[in-house]
Amino acid sequence: MVCDAGRSLSGYALLISFWSNELGGEICVIDELFVRPAYRGRGLATALIERLMRGDRSLWSRAAAALALEVTPENSRARALYERLRFQRANVCMQFRMSDPKAGESS
């Protein structure tokens, strides 16, 4: 999804889904949310998330059991936005980083 302000590209969001047995339905994941610096602080991200929270079918065509997103600990501005919109810390995300697949190849 692309956000435009007039005729200028102001940002984008990448929404994906997965099924959650724990929540009994489809989860709408805000995988990426980016607003160009010149357009930040104008409520664009807030408006998008609030529309998703209301179940706006023009943005997400199916009923979602929850909205989910990840934010890096050092991104305090984004964290403040999500907390203001009532997002709460849920499950702990754990990762195993795979080594570079080319590292094991011989020349």
Could you tell me the domains of the chain? 2-104 (3.40.630.30)
The residues, ordered by sequence, that sit 6+ positions from 73 with a Cβ below 8 Å of its Cβ are 79
> What would the two tokens of residue 58 be?
């023009």
Cα(28)–Cα(53) distance, integer angstroms: 10
- pLDDT category of residue 16 using cuts at 50, 70 and 90: very high
pTM of the model: 0.81
pLDDT of amino acid 78: 94
Asked if the model's pLDDT at residue 7 lies above 80, the reply is no
pLDDT of amino acid 93: 80
pLDDT tens-digit map of 23-70: 999 999 999 999 999 999 999 999 999 999 999 999 999 999 999 999
- pLDDT category of residue 92 using cuts at 50, 70 and 90: confident
